[in-house]
Amino acid sequence: MFSLPGLPYPYNALEPYIDEKTMQIHHDKHHGAYVKNLNDALAGNDALLAIPIENILKNLNQVPEAVRTKVRNNGGGHANHSLFWQIMAPKTGGAPSGEIAKVIDRDFGNFAAFVEKFSSAGMGRFGSGWVWLINDAGKLSIVDTPNQDTPLMENKVPILGLDVWEHAYYLKYQNLRADYIKAWWNVVNWQEVVKRFASV
Ligand code: MN
């Protein structure tokens, strides 16, 4: 069985950039529903219920075809949001330092250029989806995915992700996705991104 991980900070911790009500609904209702639907889809399949969701997503062709789309959508939702809560934190943001800062400079030119490219990918993702920073054997790149798809499905490792579904920002920002993305950089938890970068 999969379970909804708790938020590592209070619902209002990311104010004023991400509001309390959005965090509450996003975590409890949206992520909660992905977890419930994932468990429902895999009910009775004890083997799959026992392995990490990331491993299931890397091997979706091993999921029974009858429930594969449900597992893709809801398992993707579970994995993506589990990462998303971790890579944000209060009193963070700014630019990273250390090794990852050097790698960002090497692969994108400089931090501002990286932010610009990542933000543009978020604006360019039509409809619902995600933007990711990928660590591909030490080389960083930016990709975006539709719906709840994840780079894990392509065997790529996401170390930072931005949810651009309207449910992530509509209460506070309405249609202004650009304002949400701009604000989001203030809550990026680079310490966690560095940890994920180092563990690949
Ligand atoms: Mn979401």
* 27 annotated to a ligand binding site: no
Answer whether residue 94 is part of any domain: no
Write out pLDDT tens, residues 112-134: 999 999 999 999 999 999 999 99
- Residue range(s) defining the domain that contains residue 187: 99-198
Task: Indicate if 58 and 109 belong to the same structural domain.
Answer: no
CA distance 64 to 99: 42
Answer whether residue 181 is part of any domain: yes
Sheet of 157-163: strands edge to edge? Answer: 139-146, 129-136, 157-163
DSSP string, 69-101: HHHHHHHHHHHHHHHHHHTB-TT--S---SHHH
Task: Indicate if 133 and 42 belong to the same structural domain.
Answer: no
* 167 annotated to a ligand binding site: yes
The number of distinct structural domains making up the chain is 2
Contact yes or no for 172/180 (Cβ under 8 A): yes
Predicted confidence at residue 198, as pLDDT, reads 87
Give the pTM.
0.97
Task: Indicate if 121 and 188 belong to the same structural domain.
Answer: yes
Q: In terms of residues, how long is the chain?
A: 200
Enumerate residue ranges in the chain where pLDDT < 50. Answer: none
Name every residue whose Cβ is closer than 8 Å to that of residue 25 and which is 6 or more positions away in sequence.
Answer: 167, 171
Task: Indicate if 81 and 103 belong to the same structural domain.
Answer: no
* 163 annotated to a ligand binding site: yes
User: Cα(75) to centroid of ligand 1, in Å?
Assistant: 13
CA distance 146 to 88: 21
Task: Indicate if 120 and 190 belong to the same structural domain.
Answer: yes
Answer whether residue 1 is part of any domain: no
Last residue of a domain, one of 63, 86, 109: 86
Predicted confidence at residue 200, as pLDDT, reads 62
